[in-house]
Amino acid sequence: MPATTLFIKNMVCPRCIKVVRETLEAATLQVEEIELGKAVVAESLSAAQLQQVAAALETEGFLLIDDKKQQLVAAIKSIIVQTVHYTDLEEMKENFSTLLAGKLQKDYHYLSNLFSEMEGTTIEQYIIQQKIERVKELLVYKELSLSEISYQLGYSSVAHLSGQFKKVTGLTPSQFKQLQDPARIPLDKL
């Protein structure tokens, strides 16, 4: 029996993977593989089963994606989120365009045009938004200096990070740190 690959929108963290796995297993599906944005189940699913799975996932805040272009955009987002939030960018040896083209086996210009068409923003702007949310998170934790955050996220300098942060948020990193209740945007809303 052939396996079924499910493309799932709004998976942005390891906890999302856990919730999706539990949801699929509660539907008595055997999960073979799961990662941000995608799950593979051992069985072939009927249309009725797909509807049930979609409904169960939706109650947890996830959406099944069946359109190929939307699946590709979701894959781009998942790779970016995984890279920005769960790896040290200073260790990354390739730029995002090479990373995305390699992982998705598509020409970067095609990916870039598709992303812009479907999302109304560029991949570069999406990466910046993700990096700024990561900076906000690290500033709130108060464990790293701005210099360490800049290095960890692969910025060329603290000035570059600060300028980008102010352009996106309207605040300097220092002003953001002083806020009593700093506003952060959930990753699935970017």
Q: Digits of tens for pLDDT over the chain (190 positions)?
A: 688 999 998 888 889 999 999 999 999 999 999 988 899 999 998 889 999 999 999 999 999 998 899 999 999 999 999 899 888 776 677 889 999 999 999 999 999 999 999 999 999 999 999 999 999 999 988 888 999 999 888 888 999 999 999 999 999 998 988 886 666 666 556 5
Q: Which residue has the tokens 């709130």?
A: 140
Burial class (CB in 10 A: 0-12, 13-18, 19+), 109: exposed
Q: Which residues pair with 31 in a beta bridge?
A: 41
| CATH architecture classification, 75-190 | Orthogonal Bundle (1.10)
Where exactly are the structural domains of the chain? 4-65, 75-190
Q: Are 32 and 3 in contact (CB under 8 A)?
A: yes
pTM for this structure?
0.77
Q: What are the tokens at 73?
A: 């955009």
The third-level CATH classification (topology) of the domain covering 4-65 is Alpha-Beta Plaits (3.30.70)
